[in-house]
Amino acid sequence: MTENRYFGTDGIRGTFGTGVMTPAFVYRLGLAAGESLNHNNHEKPLFVVGRDTRVSGLTLQRALAAGLRDSGARVLDLGIIPTPGIAYLTRYVGATAGAVISASHNPAPENGIKFLNDQGMKLTPEQEALIEENLENIPGERVGLENESLGEPSPDLFEAYLQDLITAASGLDLRALRIVMDCSNGASWLAGPEVFRRLGANLVAIHTENDGQNINSNSGSEHLRCNPGTLANLVAKENADLAIAFDGDADRVILMDEKGNLIDGDQMLALLADRLHHKGQLLGDCLVTTVMANGALKQFAAEKGFELLLMPVGDKYVTEALLKIAQENEPNGKLGLGGEQSGHIVLLDENHRTGDGLRTALFIMKMLTETEGQTLSQLAGRIQKFNQLVASCNVASKPDLAELPGFQSRLARMREELPGLVQWNSRYSGTEPKYRLMLEADPRSTAAEVARVAWEVCELVQRLTDTPAGAKIEVLNVSQGGLMPRP
């Protein structure tokens, strides 16, 4: 199959007002999607559509809804809602498909369109290819998009999503916990605080603005991973038991314990897998994650006696593996479990097929409160992460890494420079013009030594891809949180 022109690994993304993120293009995209995803020609197709808080979301949703309606579809407007809310409700109402207008953890000027099939999952490559094929055959533009309806208002469905979250946390009582919640000024701005307050939490909710200008700005899960100090200070000031941080569309979550330590996706996966395995509820007795997983997770799985399956980077690969496990094993009330370091965690059952930061956080809260007086640091202390760094740098182009002159030999030298190097992963991002390098080392190599090598490799990649000097490079200490400075 030929490579997609518009769809990346997580829908279509771009800077609002340019290229694929203009009302004209999104209208045509709506027409193409409506035609392509209508699998029943005898009934009117039904699409559920929602967005995060970006100011451009309203404009793009009007254009998308107009295109879908002109294709013959009925459109329900779910307003500002987490991406996993659209995934759940698409299946809940029996819709033809769902659509989310969001660029996740990316800055406010960017936006994106992601379609979900009738099972609340990402489209297949064949479906994306068909949309692109139909898109190319739609001529011209349509005027008056700024006056179009967003769709049929459906506030009852937002409440249905909240009730599903509360049902997942059946019996959970959070009255004994003081929780700081960072909503990233994003899609969780209302849903997150509302669910946790209904469950009794003594909540300090921050970054809950929905003006569309500051989503992910110095806030949210990705900011927390890079700059944990600010939230740690707030946790201490508020004498909080823990903190919870979501990304812009709330499909990711990162936690912080009462001591200011980060709890990322690897740790949450370990804790959830151990609990489900112990209760005989882990589907296939298998945890699915990616090759970027911390080595401590592999060691933990071996010690606890459940299987660990490593997939390529990308939540779609994790979900595909979980569905295969579900097909090969009788569910009988069990949960499929998989996810990534970023905090994108899938708790798969008949009604939930994608990662949900709120649902994940509630499952961890359930574990925490099972033992009276247990702190989050005690719970998370069951697994100690290995020293791991992830470097990320902007690139002007993405030529084959194997063909870059001298690049592979530079990677090979890393083992000589870092005697403690345990594993590494080198790749381009599937959603952004970036190169990423993960390095994991045992105590024979310090974090500073590993960071020096990461910086050098990123600078080499930028030179070899003709990236302008001074382009952004970040080296994240995944294990402890925080960015490593240039040596």
Can you say whether the dihedral through the CA atoms of 320, 322, 324, 326 is positive or negative? negative
What confidence score (pLDDT) does residue 1 get?
A: 47
Residue 454 sits at the vertex; the CA angle it makes with 450 and 457, to the nearest 5 degrees, is 140
Closest CA to 334 of 296, 277, 290: 277
Q: With contact defined as beta carbons under 8 Å apart, do 233 and 201 qualify?
A: no
- Beta-strand ranges (E) seen in 88-154 are 97-101, 110-116, 152-153
Domain 265-380 has CATH 3.40.120.10: yes
CATH architecture of 12-157: 3-Layer(aba) Sandwich (3.40)
Q: Which two tokens stand for residue 22?
A: 């203009």
Q: Is 161 exposed, middle or buried (0-12, 13-18, 19+ CB in 10 A)?
A: buried
Q: Which two tokens stand for residue 169?
A: 């946390």
Residue partners of 424: CB distance under 8 A and separation at least 6: 411, 414, 437, 438, 439, 440
Could you give the residue numbers annotated as active site? 104
C-alpha 406: how far from its chain's center? 34
Q: With contact defined as beta carbons under 8 Å apart, do 2 and 8 qualify?
A: no
User: How many CA atoms lie less than 13 Å away from 433 in the CB half-sphere?
Assistant: 12
Within 10 A of 378 (CB to CB), how many other CB atoms are there?
Answer: 13
Phi, psi torsion values for 183, nearest 5 degrees: -95, 5
Tell me if 265-380 shares its fold with 387-477: no
Instruction: Identify the helix (H) or strand (E) that includes residue 157.
Output: helix 155-168
Q: Which two tokens stand for residue 391?
A: 């470097």
Within 10 A of 302 (CB to CB), how many other CB atoms are there?
Answer: 11
DSSP secondary structure letters along 75-93:
EEEEEE--HHHHHHHHHHT
Between the CA of residue 319 and those of 115, 122, 193, 272, 336, what are the distances in Å?
16, 9, 28, 17, 9
Q: With contact defined as beta carbons under 8 Å apart, do 126 and 323 qualify?
A: no
Whole-number Å distance between alpha carbons of 447 and 387:
7
Question: Which residue is it, tokens 């049929």?
Answer: 152
The tens place of each residue's pLDDT in the chain, 487 residues long, gives 457 889 988 899 999 999 999 999 999 999 999 999 987 665 789 999 999 999 999 999 999 999 999 999 999 999 999 999 999 999 999 999 999 999 999 999 999 999 999 999 999 999 999 999 999 888 777 888 988 999 999 999 999 999 999 998 889 999 999 999 999 999 999 999 999 999 999 999 999 998 899 999 999 999 999 999 999 999 999 999 999 999 999 999 999 999 999 999 999 999 999 999 999 999 999 999 999 999 999 999 999 999 999 999 888 899 999 999 999 998 888 999 999 999 999 999 999 999 999 999 999 999 999 999 999 999 999 998 888 999 999 999 999 999 999 999 999 999 999 999 999 999 999 878 999 999 999 889 999 999 999 999 999 999 999 999 999 999 999 988 999 999 8
DSSP secondary structure letters along 369-384:
HHSTT--HHHHHTT--
Closest CA to 183 of 226, 157, 214: 214
Residue 246 sits at the vertex; the CA angle it makes with 244 and 247, to the nearest 5 degrees, is 155
Residue partners of 383: CB distance under 8 A and separation at least 6: 266, 267, 270, 271, 296, 297, 300
In words, the CATH class of domain 160-262 is alpha beta
Residues linked to residue 483 through DSSP beta bridges, in sequence order: 476
What confidence score (pLDDT) does residue 432 get?
A: 85
Locate the domains of the chain by residue range: 12-157, 160-262, 265-380, 387-477
Classified by CATH at the fold level, domain 387-477 comes out as: Alpha-Beta Plaits (3.30.70)
What confidence score (pLDDT) does residue 41 get?
A: 60
Residue partners of 414: CB distance under 8 A and separation at least 6: 421, 424, 439, 453, 457
